Amino acid sequence: MNDAANTDRWIRWLNTLQLVLAGVVIMAPTVWMVLSSFKPSFEVTAYPPTMIFSPTLENYVALTKTTPFLSYALNSLIVTVGSTALGLLFGIPAAFAVSWTRISWPAILTLAARMAPGTLFLLPWYVMFRQIGMIGSYTALILSHAVITLPIVIWVLLPSFDGIPRSVFEAAQVDGCSVTRILWRIALPLVASGVAVSAILAFVFSWNYFLFALVLSNGDTKTLIAAAFNFIGEGSTQWGALMAAATLIALPPLVLAALVQRWLVSGLTLGAVKG
Amino acid sequence: MASISIRNLTKRYGNFTVIPDLNLEIADHEFVVFVGPSGCGKSTLLRIIAGLEPISSGDLYIGDKRVNGVQAARRDIAMVFQDYALYPHMRVYDNMSFALELRGTPKAEIDARVKRAAALLHIEPYLDRKPKELSGGQRQRVAMGRAIVRNPKAFLFDEPLSNLDAKLRGQVRAEIKALSQELKTTMVFVTHDQIEAMTMADRIVVLQSGTIQQYDTPETVYERPANQFVAGFIGSPAMNFFPVEWHEERAVLSQGGTVVPLDGETTGRLSKAGNAVLGIRPEHFAVATDAADGIAINVKLVEPLGSDTLIHFDLASASAIARVDPALRPKVGDRINLRPQPGKTHLFDSASGQVLR
């Protein structure tokens, strides 16, 4: 009995240690980024890093003065919202169709596209979009980011749709519903939290995606994350401004995740729909 | 309201044939129960009628219309599912009105029909509730209500009572029976419970391996089973079977050679066949006062049910049950003489299992 209690205590202790270590590994770069953004320029790269310093907003002021920061933010918002909407528009029916027909290869195909390195798409896209004169357009960016958002929507929603008892769909069929109507009237309301979660995840991944915007945007459509790259110069890098930009870029996804974290977990583990 | 006609129907999944060449006629207003063990194809057959499973070959008619390729949505039938399959996000009212709304029925008529069905099923107080706020029995009623409001050509029930407890099952069973008499609509009910089949059906379809073993009234299926499978499946406790043979002008048990006192008609049939399987229902044993009139058995187990008592015993290397008067108060180890009641025994062909008439 005592041995069992001791083992339990050890397991609890090890679990806590694991969580703390994971937390440190995950949070350390974020904390470092946020702290650095409030440090004077010369202190950002100081070694050993200074933990006590006089916080300053000079990096943020420099950021807004030297770059059209708000325009870039608006570009990011347009591309992210556009690609998330596109992902939902095609991902919801696609996930439902895969669940309905139990033919999984289309879903695996989209996942493979997501797993493939972005550089694989970049050259063909660049050539294609240049041919049709769309380089630097929001459309090109939104379409390219749909490669990121579509698989997320499909794969987050698939288990949600699979979790609805088949008989509910069959009851709707017998009641007189077409498949399309079953999706909109029966299935979609039942996976609403899954849709919200997939939208949030798609938003976050699209917002943070760097490569496509770097190549396919121009000065007018550059997204925040691509614009932040400008602070990395060949001779010198403006670390302070870069950290300030990174902090501001990270803010929307962090706030979003914090607001819906409970929902996020339940949505990701969504399965059975209990009558 | 419509008849259902199934002609030369075959259902295959890949190379596996679930239903081989089935023919069945269900009359308008008839209450037909499909009964059989798990995997006999009864639910598949129901789903084929509903339009939820395609037919491999053959024809299906609902009324005069051939509906082979017609979608479930256009067959105008209603179905009650085993797990009720209510729409979890809709209120009871919306669950019931959904099909009517899809058909463009005027709101006032929808309201009237939902309320009429709710009154019939005593679910009026729950119309504003979601399914998760209801008990199993209430959900079952809502599922029936959803079917009733449609006023369909036929009702299909796929083991709708199997998730209810025994008491509620008996109650809902009676309600469905009463409902069928009131609505006068064609009803097809699937169950593996032979008591449900016996109590509710106008006619019973006994299925085994996708083949109809017998299609007749409950009384006929019980009193004159077509073969040993039907005889063993219908009736609770199940019919007892003993291999018997005609030996020295007498019917004897094949194992042990005990003489079985049979009536003249059964004896005649056995004498012609030479050997057979004798079937006696537990309730068709009588206690013989004279040892010469019956078969002596040792009581192995006693189950007093109140209204009657079940006696378990071994005979000819087989376990058997007799249902006797509770006043007899038998005890384990007692020696009792049992004899089959005249005219209540069945003989089946030893090889094919078909009844010997």
Model confidence pLDDT, tens digit, residues B129-164: 999 999 988 999 999 999 989 889 999 999 988 888
**Cα–Cα dist B66/A154, whole Å:** 39
Residues B77 and B219 in one domain: yes
Residues B189 and B277 in one domain: no
Q: Flag if A274 and B132 touch (Cβ within 8 Å).
A: yes
Q: Flag if A190 and B73 touch (Cβ within 8 Å).
A: no
B60: which 2 tokens? 């299906």
pLDDT at residue B341, rounded to an integer = 94
pLDDT at residue A233, rounded to an integer = 64
Which residue shows structure tokens 């209450």?
Answer: B31
**Cα–Cα dist B74/B269, whole Å:** 53
**Cα–Cα dist B261/A254, whole Å:** 88
pLDDT at residue A107, rounded to an integer = 85
The verdict on residue A119 lying in a domain is yes
Residues B171 and B49 in one domain: yes
pLDDT at residue B325, rounded to an integer = 92
pLDDT at residue A41, rounded to an integer = 79
pLDDT at residue B1, rounded to an integer = 63
pLDDT at residue A95, rounded to an integer = 95
Chain B interface, best mutation among A102, A164, A166, A174, by max B CB count within 10 A: A174
For the cut 90, the answer to whether the pLDDT of residue B67 exceeds it is: yes
Residue ranges of chain A whose pLDDT lies below 50? 270-275
Q: Flag if B87 and A170 touch (Cβ within 8 Å).
A: no
Residue B153 sits at the chain A interface (C-beta within 8 Å): no
Residues B265 and B340 in one domain: yes
Residues B270 and B185 in one domain: no
Of A201, A202, A187, A195, nearest to A99 by C-alpha is A187
The verdict on residue B357 lying in a domain is no
pLDDT at residue B172, rounded to an integer = 84
Q: Flag if A275 and B83 touch (Cβ within 8 Å).
A: yes
The verdict on residue A10 lying in a domain is no
Q: How many residues does chain B have?
A: 357
Of A234, A235, A212, nearest to A225 by C-alpha is A212
Residues B332 and B213 in one domain: no
- Region B256-264: mean pLDDT is 89
- Region B277-296: mean pLDDT is 90
Q: Residues of chain B with pLDDT > 70: what percent?
A: 100
Count of the separate structural domains present in chain A: 1
Using CB atoms, pick whichever of B72, B84, B88 lies closest to residue A174.
B72
Q: Flag if B73 and A176 touch (Cβ within 8 Å).
A: yes
Q: What is the CATH number of the domain that holds B149?
A: 3.40.50.300
pLDDT band with cut points at 50, 70 and 90 for residue B208: very high
Domain interval for residue B144: 4-227
Domain interval for residue A234: 58-268
Peptide bond into B131 cis (omega under 30): no
pLDDT at residue A1, rounded to an integer = 54
pLDDT at residue A272, rounded to an integer = 35
pLDDT at residue A191, rounded to an integer = 92
Count of the separate structural domains present in chain B: 2
Instruction: Tell me the pLDDT of chain B averaged across its residues.
Output: 93
The verdict on residue B101 lying in a domain is yes
Which residue shows structure tokens 């979609």?
Answer: A188
More confident: B217 or B192: B217
The verdict on residue B252 lying in a domain is yes
Quick: pLDDT tens for B166-196: 888 888 888 888 888 888 899 999 998 888 9
Using CB atoms, pick whichever of B78, B83, B139 lies closest to residue A165.
B83
Residues B44 and B174 in one domain: yes
Terminal CA-CA length for chain B: 38
pLDDT at residue A269, rounded to an integer = 54
The verdict on residue A113 lying in a domain is yes
pLDDT at residue A266, rounded to an integer = 65
